[in-house]
Structure 1
């Protein structure tokens, strides 16, 4: 059964906006995007009239902790940080996500349909990240890609966690050494594995090193938590020593070395931006920084780091960055196609394009206008959220079977 969204101001992001546009969906995929004259709508298609509204792809949160840092659940819902092992490469965010976390419902109200859930930053190597839809009854049914990357942290957080335990790593030197030692062991492990395969001998597997070999082989990117410019440079140094694909998470002082990041083609997932200067590492936090990075030629994505900033404020961060110098087109791309491209999800999400998932959001107006609302949200072609204008409240369809 096909569904045709007709009559709206369609913003595909990857191409120019279309007045009186049509988006045709077949099942859970987009099959056509264009003007009313360009898209042939089947006679038996369900028609969704979005006249007077804006139609966009669902937003992509590139760095969040929804489901692993549950709001209002205190220690019971804190599953982002395994603070007992500096090298947690074998750990998977997937195993800690509660799909019933309130953050998923907040995401829908803000037009966010894809979330890359990451372990926290307590460990030098925190674990594997996962991209999920913002709606579902079981996390395995929500997965877009798993794993997406491996989370790592430099700077203040791992120093504090292990310094309080009076064990390695308690300094920046120690944090870098843990990462360097881990990759050196992974290189040796890879050589032993290749030898065992050549001679047909069995070999005991190491689940931690298996993951790091995938990073070395380029299968997984390295999501590096780093705020200060010196930590970002350390991240670059380590990545060049071992040859892995680096993505900078947070990048609060990235604007100080924007030319270096641009020259090396390293993307930055920047944020959270609506926070106080709660620690030394974020003393240069500014809404101007994304614009500085983008103008230097750095590919950026904006993040809330939910629950640090509520995930439904993702688009508002982008809007406020426009006020401080980020161009509107890049602002919109920073929460759609850019994070999808940075994290290798652009074959599924981030734009309105034939072949991509039918994750669509009907907005009352331009989503970069703070007065606009997400009125209806569709994931994989199914309506999962709508704003009830009578009650003034958002309504999320329950994914759980009842009765």
Structure 2
């Protein structure tokens, strides 16, 4: 299938803005990007006059599909809050691809979603990345696992305090995280030592296998950390075990930007369009992305859906721009930066030849309340078309 989008302002992200450009899509990929017309036979032509073409937006931290809208416990599949350490869980097994949040994402121009377990547990299980177009999650997923979810701060304390079970302090949360990593290190070393002696190898343990992926730097640990001291604890543990992490939420990142920059760990900031519902959100600020940008930190912006409905991802970026983040950096925060953090920048995040044809035609500025996604493509297939 060939689709030619023509007569459109092309916001490439990687190579600037083309005022009157054309983009040719073939076999699910972007095959040509031109500053003028593209001559091709047999293509479906989409006239984008007056509209802006952007890469599909990416939300790098959500609970879409695993926390179903309009349900109570029946659709709450994101926290297995009976044990604080559950690295064996997989988000993909809890995602309902037909729930309303998935549909809202697509209608809102968000074409790539990272869905993770919640933050009730110190270690919650693996996250995956999928595109919100389809009926079977196995066919929609493009990276699984993408990270192993972990959490610091108030959430694990609040959940397990009532059970009279550790952790009820930040000390215990950090120690449980360390203990899990130490067990996994021992498990991995024993497997390697007795690679040729199967009878001496440890029994297979799915949770240990997921933690070993972190220790081998095959995936990062995706650490929920709001407060500055929790951010620094995450960095401390990452350094102790020489692992890669992403600092998710990073609410007080603007208070310790030098330390974050020095660590070189990326951040996924948000959700900022909420009230200060708990103590660790007291210093929440829309200025956090601008401060991180000034210090050279690689960051994305997220909704934490359903905390902020995923279709409002561009609006949250617009508010960050209002508070000092350069406009282009705001777009990068939900395109190429998010793709880099998820390890998918070779496929996603910009309009370039060879990348996935996840494209959105916008009427108005997508970062404003007036922005409207009029045409959405996922993998070169037309998923939403309001031009007709």
Question: How does the TM-score come out when normalised to structure 2?
Answer: 0.97
| Aligned-residue offset at 1:164 | 1.1
Q: Residue 198 of structure 1 is aligned with which of 196, 199, 203?
A: 196
Q: Sort the Cα spacing of 1:314 and 1:75 in 2 relative to 1 into closer, same or farther, 3 A.
A: same
Q: How does 1:237-386 map to 2 (within 5 A)?
A: 237-386=236-385
Q: Residue 187 of structure 2 is aligned with which of 186, 189, 212?
A: 189
Q: How does 1:163-242 map to 2 (within 5 A)?
A: 163-201=161-199, 203=201, 204-242=203-241
User: In structure 2, what is the Cα distance between the partners aligned to 1:59 and 1:18?
Assistant: 19
Q: Does structure 1 residue 27 correspond to structure 2 residue 27?
A: yes
Contact 1:291 1:321 in 2 (8 A): yes
Contact 1:227 1:282 in 2 (8 A): yes
| Aligned-residue offset at 1:42 | 2.0
User: In structure 1, what is the Cα distance between the partners aligned to 2:24 and 2:69?
Assistant: 37
Contact 1:68 1:78 in 2 (8 A): yes
| Aligned-residue offset at 1:202 | 5.8
Contact 1:3 1:45 in 2 (8 A): yes
| Aligned-residue offset at 1:388 | 7.1
Contact 1:4 1:41 in 2 (8 A): no
Higher mean displacement: 70-79 or 45-54: 45-54
| Aligned-residue offset at 1:41 | 3.3
Question: Mind listing any 5+ residue stretches in structure 1 that lack a counterpart?
Answer: 390-403
Contact 2:250 2:267 in 1 (8 A): yes
User: In structure 1, what is the Cα distance between the partners aligned to 2:133 and 2:183?
Assistant: 39
Contact 1:223 1:246 in 2 (8 A): yes
Cα deviation per residue 1:111-142 (whole Å; 9 max; x = unaligned)? 10000001000000011000000121011111
| Aligned-residue offset at 1:370 | 2.4
What is the root-mean-square deviation of aligned Cα atoms in Å?
1.3
Contact 1:24 1:41 in 2 (8 A): no
Question: How does the TM-score come out when normalised to structure 1?
Answer: 0.94
Higher mean displacement: 189-198 or 326-335: 189-198
Contact 1:224 1:247 in 2 (8 A): yes
| Aligned-residue offset at 1:369 | 3.1
| Aligned-residue offset at 1:195 | 1.7
